[in-house]
Chain A
Amino acid sequence: MNRTTLIVVAIVAALFAVSWIAHAVSMSGQKDNVVDAFMLTMAAFLTLAIFSFLYRDNPFYKFAEHLFVGVSAAFWMCQGFWSTIVGNLIPRLSEGLSGFFQVPYQASSWNFAYWIPVILGLMLLMRLTKDYGWLSRWPLALIVGTTAGLNFVRYLRSDFIVQVSATFMPLLSNESHPWEGFGAFLSNLNLAATGQLVTIVANWVIFLGVICGIIYFFFSKEHTGIFGRASRVGIWILMITFGAGFGYTVMGRISLLVGRITFLFKDWLQIIS
């Protein structure tokens, strides 16, 4: 560690201590004020440590990143153990274990079938051993098979059939404005968002957008002539979709920045009311 690094670390440590003490003093009278002040300062330090990556990679960023990964992994593991194994399985399996983990035993829910996930879970852990690692393939196959089967039916309906049927839309009318001839259409012509003209244009955009988008992904015919032009329209539709998605993404990232600014200036520094 060179001299500059040591000086920077010392300055950061001093600022941390000042912030901790200042917040502990300002919270005096509250329960656990020292711990709360430490947590607040730590949160601010970690936020700034992550932001420091925008300048360049540095030890503070590395520390914050590794801490986040470690804490997340440990939190997920503990949550999984306490909510799945202790919360769901043990109360249905054993009175002794329920007593040990201090969860109410559900005698009426006892079923021999609950031993099956226990056995499958243990087989999954066999992956950690060299000689019996092959055993983990069976529960893994069961997980993949049931998930695929369950998702296939549900997603086929919600993401495919319903979506396809949603593109079968009237091209000259809508529910509130049935097509009553060209004369009636012209006499009621307006640019209202729910009007017939706007609805017709919107429906045509969806209809042509879907057709052209599908043509772009149709590779069994060369994209030349009318087919090629439709394919180019398809690319434009896709680009507009990606653009909308990117716009929303920018908004999302700025929202996260707003959240951190709020925390730093309102909760930590307390310079915004």
Chain B
Amino acid sequence: MNIFEKFMKLDRRWVYLLLITVCVLTYVADFDVPILVEKEVKVIYDRIESLEEGSVVLIAIDYDPNSLAELHPMTYAIVEHCWRKKIRTIFTSLSQNGPGMCDQAIRDITDSLSLDREYNGVTYKGREIVNGVDYCFLGFKPYYAIVILGMGQAFKLPFPADYYGTPLDSIPMMQDIINYDQVDLVVDISGGNITDAWISYGQGRFGFPLALGLTGVMTAQYYPFLGSGQVIGIMGGLLGAAQYEQLADNPGRAKDGMRVQLAAHLVIILFIVMGNVGYFASRKRLKKEGRA
């Protein structure tokens, strides 16, 4: 058996071992990977950047813990960007495990906002984020399509009270927000097919500007909606989150993860090349020997 045939018959466990070793080492190592920002991410950043203080952004946290690694960094980057600019946010979770994700993000980002920080040369004073004034967390309701349609009439139809049980009528922030007409941007951060409902039932029916944050697996599937103008921008997987962090000058988990992505992709490419070289070399040898 020559070296090429050995390539072809390499035990997959060696591939896993090498991949995990490389991922751990590059995660521990401290070096920067350049992030090139794509237009579809910049559009989302620019839209939020252009909003005035007091504007309203609806952020739909439609993912479960299994997509947390990819989508949580997007949530953190976008929500922090909104709150630094004093943009009011409404949170919904139309995925069953979403409320836990949203609650955790709100608590973490609230802590982060209490500190003075400088982003892109602008200093933002630390401030207290107040529930009901800076944000309203509506929580989870089943049957997402009906909930999306219901919020188009009035938020209080599907959500008479917020996640913490406070009636919507008594929440200061919601006094002048009735339905999507008062929302300047909807951002759906999703790890499942709830995105289809936001496009069809939400954007299609009510015409609000919709931006998407998607897992890597889903991203390619939703590019046609970007081309048709149904969504204004897409953040795809960890790369999309890293690009947003880069634009917001707020490096976080996604930018850290891109180091590992780079190394892991190089390992995968190496194995693809080795496998193909092995395949073609062994085929050539078999042809020469008249066995193929």
Contact = CB atoms under 8 A, between A and B. Distances in A.
Given A154-B204, A158-B199, A158-B230, A255 B216 contact: yes
Given A248-B217, A252-B215, A154 B228 contact: no
Contact of B27 (A75, A193, A262): A262
B24 A261 contact: yes
SS of A interface (majority): helix
Interface in A235-269: 241, 244-245, 248-262, 265
A59 interface: no
B140 A83 contact: yes
Contacts of A75: 96-97
Contacts of B229: 166
B219 interface: yes
A265 B69 contact: no
A100 interface: no
Contact of B69 (A83, A245, A260, A272): A260
A245 B218 CA distance: 8
Interface in B86-100: 96-97
Given A162-B230, A259-B69, A54 B216 contact: no
Interface string A163-183: 101100000000000000000
A256 B260 CA distance: 11
Nearest to B161: A104
SS of B interface (majority): helix
Given A158-B200, A241-B220, A258 B27 contact: yes
B69 A248 contact: no
A245 B221 contact: yes
Contact of B205 (A83, A154, A165, A256): A154
A216 B13 CA distance: 39
Q: Which of A80, A253, A260, A261 has the most CB of B within 10 A?
A: A261
Contacts of A206: 227
Contacts of A88: 141-142
B201 interface: yes
Interface string B212-235: 000111111100110111100000
A248 B224 contact: no
A160 B66 CA distance: 31
Contacts of B227: 166, 206
Contacts of A253: 216
Contacts of A76: 96
B5 to A, nearest CB: 24
Interface of B: 13, 16, 20, 23-24, 27-28, 39, 66, 68-70, 96-97, 140-142, 145, 160, 196, 199-201, 203-205, 215-221, 224-225, 227-230, 236-239, 253, 256-257, 260-261, 264-265, 268
Interface of A: 54-55, 75-76, 79-80, 83-84, 87-88, 106, 150-151, 154-155, 157-159, 162-163, 165-166, 193, 206, 241, 244-245, 248-262, 265, 272
8 contacts: A80-B142, A83-B140, A162-B228, A254-B265, A259-B68, A260-B69, A261-B24, A262-B253
